[in-house]
Structure 1
Amino acid sequence: MEKTLVEIAAGIVKSQAMVNPMSTEEVVDSLGKVFNTLKSLRDAEVSVDEPKEDKPVMDPKKSIKRNVIVCLECGQEFKMISPKHLESHGLTAKEYRKKYGFSARQPLCAKSLSERRSKSGKERGLPENLRKAIEARKQKGAKGSGTASGKG
């Protein structure tokens, strides 16, 4: 039968007390310190031995709901998963999307927030302005590529 951490700590402190005389307070203090040290060592050993499962807290397809999005790393609910929150898990938005199989264009926010943003953008004429900007960029690129490849 294995010894408990308390028994191991008591044995260590007992050995210390036999070599160096200790007051009752010193014994109690030493026992607490040794126990906490042994406990932290055991916890560190267990976490190294057991491979961390990268299993999401829920099905990624079900994590984006009408009014909330659930972080698949920790299970917290948000209106939008911020880059700062993802950073706390050591991820970027791009890495998070890739890890859980979301498309690169998938907004990391609740459906209602995404719809509200889309509607607001359309009301401001954003899609039309975007089309114009893309077209202008294409025309600018076509003009630049013809002159850049010509030799003297």
Structure 2
Amino acid sequence: MGKSLVEMAADLVQSQCASKAMNTEEITLALQSTFNALQMLQAGEAKLQAGTSEGAGVVGTAPGMAPEKSIQKNKIVCLECGQEFKMLSPKHLRSHGLTGREYREKWGFPLRQPLCAKALSERRKKAGKDRGLPENLRKAIAKRKKSGQAKKAGNDKK
């Protein structure tokens, strides 16, 4: 089990006494200030842990990271919690109470920006091209346009 704050403060002040001569008044003041500092640190740590464990999404835990730098070659860093992934899944974003669209809007990404590592995005793009998706998409769009024009022509005759 870990040491109590009093024990930690005593150890720190004892080390300080070993390096410099201190009278009882200085030792007392040093103990009090060290104990208070440790208490503040512990309270801050507890707040941080409570915020992340409740799924509150502590903003800024990816310290000072610019959104455009969060999407890297082999990973994407969640700007809400600071965790690294290959892809920000809808399930992970839900843990922060966000959808993909809300995440993109909040952090200033274009709505068509893939929320995955650049390498993964490139692999998917290449696989789609290999399967002929761009050509099939062009054909489907052309077919839709033709059927839309045919419907308009039919409505004009009435």
- Normalised to the residue count of structure 2, the TM-score between the two structures is 0.59
Corresponding residue of 2:17: none
Percent identity for Structure 1 against Structure 2: 62
Corresponding residue of 1:12: none
Corresponding residue of 1:139: 146
1:126 aligns with 2:133: yes
Corresponding residue of 1:110: 117
1:81 aligns with 2:88: yes
Match of 2:71 among 64, 76, 80: 64
Inter-CA distance 138–151: structure 2 relative to 1 (3 Å threshold): closer
Alpha-carbon displacement from aligned partner over 1:61-116 (angstroms, at most 9, x marks no partner): 00000000011110111001000100000000011111111111110000000000
Contact 2:58 2:81 (8 Å CA) reproduced: no
SS of equivalent to 1:121: helix
Separation of aligned partners in 2, 1:92 and 1:70: 16
Match of 2:108 among 87, 101, 105: 101
Q: CA RMSD in A?
A: 2.4
Q: Unmatched 5+ residue regions in structure 2?
A: 1-42, 52-56
- Normalised to the residue count of structure 1, the TM-score between the two structures is 0.61
Shift of residue 147 of structure 1? Answer: 2.5
Q: Unmatched 5+ residue regions in structure 1?
A: 1-38
Q: Which amino acid aligns with 1:139?
A: K
Separation of aligned partners in 2, 1:62 and 1:110: 11
Contact 2:87 2:115 (8 Å CA) reproduced: yes
